[in-house]
Structure 1
Amino acid sequence: MGLTGPEFVLLSLTVGVGALLQVSVGFGLGMLAAPVFSLVDPSLAPTAVLLLASGVTATVLVRERGRADLRGCGWALVGRLPGVLMGALLVVALPARYLALLVAAVILAGVAVNAAGFVPRRRRSSVVLAGMASGLMGTATSIGGPPMAMVWQRLSGPELRATMSAFFLAGSLMSLAALTAAGTVGSHALRGTVLLVPAAVAGVLAAGPLTRRLNVRRTRTAATALAVAGAVVLVVRQFV
């Protein structure tokens, strides 16, 4: 894969912790992994992160089966399609440096909006627009969670996890199809994904016994802080 031992360990830990958070609190893998992957090996992002996230979200969907808001998910996917196409164009057009800065900007903007307490009404139009934004951001940076988390934040815990997982499983497959058509999915990213699958599996398995012990609010705060730290380091690296 072209990585040193410490780099592979760092990516494995990031994927493991991200998978644990994704299963336990409904988000985490994309926000944690995208800046770290962009720092360590930009050629792995967004493909490897999207592939790993697809497997983890499928696991969450199986665990929370029957609780997803399928109608809302459907409207979000209607919006996701044009967003995916725009995101694929960005990946083709932007150099790696600017994609890295975009990753950081998406993380920091999502955290800022969440901190401001913005809660959009869960109407059809807002769900479609959130889906479009998620498609663009998720395809270009592998971080498509913030728009959907905002529009669906009033759902109960299990319903939120199930609905977001259904949306992200279908949406990630759409993004991967668009990136493949654009010719940006390489064998290096696929090999890297295969090598990191055990870390994702370990995170999913660890989530089972740990979920009941985790304080959801504190865990989300810690995950957000880690993502922000990664985004800041990523920005600094582009200018040093």
Structure 2
Amino acid sequence: MELLLVALVVAVASCLQGAIGFGLGLLAAPVIALIDPTLLPGSIVLLAAVLTVFGVLRDRAAVDLKGTGWALLGRIPGTVAGALLVAALAPRILALILAGTVLLAVLLSVCGWQPQPRPAAVAAAGAASGLLGTTTSIGGPPMALVWHGTSRARMRGTMSAFFLVGALMSLAALTAVGSIDRRTLEFAAILAPAMLLGFAASGWVNRRLNRQLVRRAGLVASAIGAGLVIIQAI
């Protein structure tokens, strides 16, 4: 039953990411943390690496290559720092960091804070995304903040391109510190069909549902999940 619940959440989270450009880690990571925090962040990063390939292929014409470059420049030091934290901290501490990250992202989104997408801001967001994405698998919110004002296709495509390279960086760093093991690989492989089903459904969501409604539903679900993680960890 736990596996079926996680698969359902991963499908919904993948659909959310396919619709707005991020959301896989934000929605799915708290649920996985409730079941087995040792499977994070590796399992979500593995799924994200595959999911973003499909995102780039679908929205490749809208990708902002210059913006992606600045973001990746910041992602490198953030990824290294995140991998070192994963190696040093206990799963319980990482779970609390994950929950705090989710709640902060929800709060910033609700408050409507919108930095300008200048090169320095994009690079800083890339560093924050690398740190958070490698430690908690939730690297979307910093990039969503700086790219929120762009068109839907550009935001989805650019974030997918950034997260594709970023996920590969995180996987390399996590592997180097021994955080990617056989259990993590098997868990991600089991959830891969649910992830693909969710991404396929995102095309229908993009055509038929209000983007803001989908985003708000994802934020509410993420906040609830983060609250449950905090309760369990305490």
Confirm or deny a common fold (TM above 0.5): yes
Q: Which runs of 5+ in 2 are unaligned?
A: none
Partner Cα separation in structure 1 for residue 82 and residue 68 of structure 2? 20
For 1:152, the equivalent position in structure 2 comes to 147
AA aligned to 1:94 is: L
Residues 1:31 and 2:29 are matched in the alignment:
no
Aligned partner of 1:136 in structure 2 is 131
Distance in 2 between the 1:127 and 1:25 partners?
A: 18
Structure 2 residue 158 is the aligned partner of structure 1 residue 171: no
Q: Secondary structure at the match of 1:66?
A: helix
Aligned mates of 1:118, 1:197 — CA distance in 2: 34
Q: Among all aligned residue pairs of Structure 1 and Structure 2, give the percentage whose two residues are the same amino acid.
A: 47
**Secondary structure at the counterpart of residue 3 of structure 2:** helix
Aligned-pair CA distance for 1:116: 2.0
- Regions of 4+ moved over 6 Å: none
Matches within 5 A, 1:1-240: 6-239=1-234
Aligned-residue offset at 1:118: 1.3
Q: Which amino acid is 1:18 matched to?
A: A
Q: Does the Cα contact within 8 Å between 1:43 and 1:188 map onto a contact in 2?
A: no
Task: Please state how far the C-alpha of 1:237 moved relative to its aligned partner.
Answer: 0.6
Instruction: Tell me the SS of whatever aligns to 1:155.
Output: coil
Amino acid at match of 2:46: L
State the distance in 2 between where 1:129 and 1:211 align: 29
Residue 149 of structure 2 aligns to a residue in which SS?
coil
**TM-aligned CA deviation for residue 41 of structure 1:** 1.4
Whether contact under 8 Å (1:79, 1:129) holds in the other structure is yes
Give the TM-score of the pair, scaled to structure 1.
Answer: 0.95
* 1:141-183 residue CA offsets vs partner (Å, 9 max, x unmatched): 0000111011111111000000000000000100010000111
Deviations 1:190-222 (A, max 9, x none): 011111111111112222333311111011000
Quick one: distance in 2 between partners of 1:122 and 1:209? 29
Residue identity matched to 2:232:
R
Measure how far apart 1:25 and its partner are. Answer: 2.0
Paired with 2:127 and 2:49, the residues of 1 have a C-alpha distance of 18
Q: Unpaired runs of 5+ in structure 1?
A: 1-5
* Equivalent residue pairs, number: 234
Q: Deviations over 1:47-102 (max 9, x none)?
A: 11011111111111111112111011001101000000110011011101100000
Amino acid at match of 2:64: D
**Structure 2 residue matching 1:183: 3-state secondary structure:** coil
